[in-house]
Structure 1
Amino acid sequence: MAAQRFGFVIDTKQCVGCHTCAVLCKSENNIPDGLWWNRILTDGGESIDAFGGSYQAASRTFIPMACQHCDNPACVKVCPVGATYKDPETGVVRQDFDKCIGCRMCMAACPYTGVRSFNWEEPQYSVDHTMGDADAPAHQKHVVEKCTMCWHRLAKGENPLCVDGCPAYARFWGDFNDPNSEVSRLIREREHMRLLEDRGTEPSVYYLV
């Protein structure tokens, strides 16, 4: 077991579906055009921001979706070269672009559809200069990529930017191995769920409901 188990708690009652976390993630990590590491799904209708239910009883819940940084990650088990691995100190599921051979076995094994992207071509950008943090990893052709939990920020003792930038204060981050952390307290005190718990991956993202 990792010394720490970093992860997220997301309050679905507070999330307003503004997509700020997704945009901040894309900018901070200089993510190429057409790719997103963080998305906001809608539990209700079939399209983005759509309502479910009837006209008289409409409902909608936003589900921010990215890598679940599982404690028992299926992706790590199938990677033939160790490019996908769980950091032994923090529990963060990481991706080594230099080792990745583009086999996409991790994408096939991950039960959380769409949290990984594959760069089929050289990364393309809408602007002619690099965005985001200078320490964010450089993107490469023919590799798989995903949420890094803003690893370059963690290395400096900072929170993931999606947490600090959420205008609705719906996102929390911390160490689940620390019983006194805010995230541990929240899942003790509030009703919550995790996605696809029956798959045995032990995701490190909890959704307060």
Structure 2
Amino acid sequence: MSCSRRQFLTRVGALVAVSGAAGGVLAQTLNINGVRYGMIHDETLCIGCNACMDACREVNNVPEGVSRLTIIRSEPQGSFPDVKYHFFRHSCQHCDDAPCVDVCPTGASYRDAANGIVDVNPDLCVGCQYCIAACPYRVRFIHPIGKTADKCDFCRKTNLKAGKQPACVESCPTKALTFGNLDDPDSSISRMLRQKTTYRYKLALGTKPKVYRVPFKFGEVHQ
């Protein structure tokens, strides 16, 4: 019996609905280890050197032509010689209410209940690109070799697994990145959130992103 791609995705989605529904509820409400990882990008410290991008690519074996992390430089602000640039981190926000997870027909996109990281299981991904279309931050891509959805995973399978900080955090020469457990009031990230003014990108969408930003001091903050 022949089966179109659409029919295949529909049937697979139905098969994972029962197990996926229970897992989805768990992922939305519980963190097994009391851990919910997040990150702060201090835009007042970032110099746009791209060391974070290079480290991410090397540690996670990201092929040329795609990127899990990009630093976007603004147009020059101010007059010579006092010119400033705003450097914006473009990467997965690891949303607590992630649209990419909601639309995935196979359960490949998921939020890990143990640590809050939004990730992709390549063994379940069929490359339908629904998650890419649903992500309001436009940070997902199809891996040119694996042909499955890919993005930042906070170095979950590499540095975190080895007990290290994410590659971008370790490589930043100005310490513009802070990573840690948002649910631990004594963590470095929780302390910084209490001390500094921060914003989150596209917060009004209700995605509950876990990447915070210390705003650039010059010009406007665009959300």
TM range (shorter): 0.7 to 0.9
% same residue: 37
Instruction: Quote the residue 1:150 is aligned against.
Output: 155
User: What is the aligned partner in structure 1 of residue 112 from structure 2?
Assistant: 87
**Amino acid in structure 2 at the alignment position of 1:206:** Y
2:35: which partner in 1? 4
Flag the structure with larger Rg: 2
Q: Deviations over 1:25-56 (max 9, x none)?
A: 001111112011000012x32xxxxx145668
CA apart distance, 1:187? 1.0
CA distance in 1, matches of 2:105, 2:78: 45
The answer to whether structure 1 residue 103 and structure 2 residue 128 are counterparts is yes
Task: Tell me the equivalent position of 1:170.
Answer: 176
1:21 aligns with 2:52: yes
The aligned residue for residue 118 of structure 1 is: 142
For 1:54 and 1:197, how far apart are their aligned partners in 2? 32
1:48 is aligned to none
Task: Give 5+ residue unaligned stretches, structure 1.
Answer: 46-50, 124-139
**Structure with greater proportional helix content:** 2
The corresponding residue for 1:131 is none
TM-score normalised to structure 2 length:
0.78
Instruction: Give 1:76's aligned residue.
Output: 101
SS in 1 for 2:191: helix
* Matches of 2:80 and 2:178, distance apart in 1: 33
Secondary structure of the 2:172 match is: coil
- Deviation larger for 53-62 or 69-78: 53-62
Matched with 2:198 is: 192
RMSD: 1.5
**Which position in structure 1 is the counterpart of 2:88?**
63
Deviation at 1:118, TM superposition (A): 1.1
Describe the SS at the equivalent of 1:206: strand
Runs of 4 or more consecutive aligned structure 1 residues displaced over 4 Å after TM superposition = 53-58
Distance 1:99 1:34 in 2: 24
For these two proteins, the number of residue pairs brought into alignment is: 183
Measured in 2, the distance between the counterparts of 1:80 and 1:208 equals 36
